[in-house]
Copies of this chain bind each other. A is one copy, B any other.
Amino acid sequence: MNYNLILVDDHKMFLDGLWNIFKNEANCTVLQTAHNGAQVIKYMETNPNQAIDIVISDISMPTTDGITLNKYIKKERPEIKTLMVSMHTDAGMIDTLIKNNVDGYLSKNATQTELLEAVKTILKGEKYFSQSVQQAYMKGVLEKKTETTITLTKREKEVLRLIAEEYTTQEIADELFLSKHTIESYRKNLIAKLNVKNLAGLTKYAIKLGLVE
């Protein structure tokens, strides 16, 4: 069967790489390539009658990330399938994806063969999560590290960002006009909530959330 797709990634070179893969596929048409979710939403709004079968998107992107894009698609154009692609494989991320009803997920470590396999599976109406992703997820579940999907509040994110920006507790307190005890509380909660040991863990999580760098 023939299918139409859209490719989204903020790294042009990677996007070109994806495009090359599908360009050579006989029975598919790449409708658009975009480097953030907003472009895709715009495309869908200006071409409401264009049949789209699947959107393959990176997760972390500037402007509008993959998860936000997926939310839009599942609400406005639920017939369109979504396949998310990302650098990292962690249980929390996968959990978020599942909760958002994404149709499939691949690590950027996946091969081209697996990518095409994933698309085929998803177009059949099935979900596709690779073996390695399933393993990583199950490992997380078994280690009880998944908990209940970690959601940080606005304030927590703000504090976490400053922590990762190398501010001390006192400096953050001054910056936000709060007591240093308050920041200490946030710090403690974050360490517990994110299941990390210290500042290094907090910093890595901040990066994963895209709060810094």
Contact = CB atoms under 8 A, between A and B. Distances in A.
Interface in A72-105: 85, 87-88
B204 A199 contact: no
A201 B108 CA distance: 27
A40 interface: no
Contacts of A109: 10-13
Given A14-B108, A204-B212, A166 B21 contact: no
Nearest to A163: B200
A8 to B, nearest CB: 14
A111 B109 CA distance: 21
Interface in A13-65: 13-14, 16-18, 20-21, 24
Contact of A207 (B14, B111, B201, B204): B204
Nearest to A212: B204
Contacts of A207: 204, 207, 213
A100 to B, nearest CB: 22
Given A16-B112, A200-B203, 16 more contacts: A11-B87, A11-B108, A12-B108, A13-B14, A13-B18, A13-B108, A13-B109, A13-B111, A16-B115, A17-B17, A17-B21, A163-B200, A166-B197, A168-B198, A200-B200, A204-B207
Which 8 pairs show the lowest CB-CB distances between chains A and B?
A17-B17, A20-B20, A16-B112, A11-B108, A203-B203, A166-B197, A199-B199, A200-B203
